[in-house]
Amino acid sequence: SFTKVMKEKIFSPLGIEEYQWLPNIGSGEAGADWGLRLTSRDMGKFGLMWLNKGQYNGTKIVGEEWLNELRKSKFYSYEMGYGLHFWQVSNVENGVAAVGIGEQYIVAIPNKNAVIVTTAGNYETRSRPVL
């Protein structure tokens, strides 16, 4: 299953043990499109993996080619490119962001070697990147 693969290939190597993944309404199974709940620290681990081109603590988690594919723009909205669940941060060179419902953000800024994580509970507000 998708969640088993994510646990084995991504979460365990990143040291992510406590998380919740809500099921999709139609299938009842978790999917890549929504419902992942992580701590701020664990969100930051994703950002660090991105900054380090797929590596975390010296271990290769994903290929750099895969990360590059995620950020390639497939759609343009809010003056920002959108790839496969990741936004291009238009005013930051090579910046990329994951944006979650309720205004959850993981922003990786490679040329500054920085990761920014924010969490909020604005679930009544329509998600819209404000980067």
Residue 74 lies in a domain: yes
As given in the structure block, the two tokens for residue 40 are: 């701020």
What percent of the chain has pLDDT above 90?
Answer: 31
Predicted TM-score (pTM) of this structure: 0.79
The answer to the question of residue 127 being in a domain is no
Each residue's pLDDT tens digit, 46-104: 999 989 999 999 999 999 888 877 766 665 555 566 555 666 666 667 777 777 777 78
Q: How many domains does the chain have?
A: 1
Q: Which CATH number fits the domain that encloses residue 74? A: 3.40.710.10
Q: Which neighbouring-strand residues pair with 36?
A: 21
What does pLDDT average to over the chain? 80
Long-range contact set of residues 54-63: C-beta below 8 Å, sequence gap at least 24: 56/13, 56/14, 59/13, 61/9, 61/10, 61/13, 61/14, 62/9, 62/10
Q: In this structure, how many other beta carbons lie within 10 angstroms of the beta carbon of residue 59?
A: 11
Q: Is residue 128 part of a domain?
A: no
Q: Answer whether residue 90 is part of any domain.
A: yes
| Full domain range(s) for residue 42 | 2-118
Q: Judge residue 11's burial from the number of C-beta atoms within 10 Å of its C-beta, 0-12 exposed, 13-18 middle, 19 or more buried.
A: buried
Is residue 123 in some structural domain? no
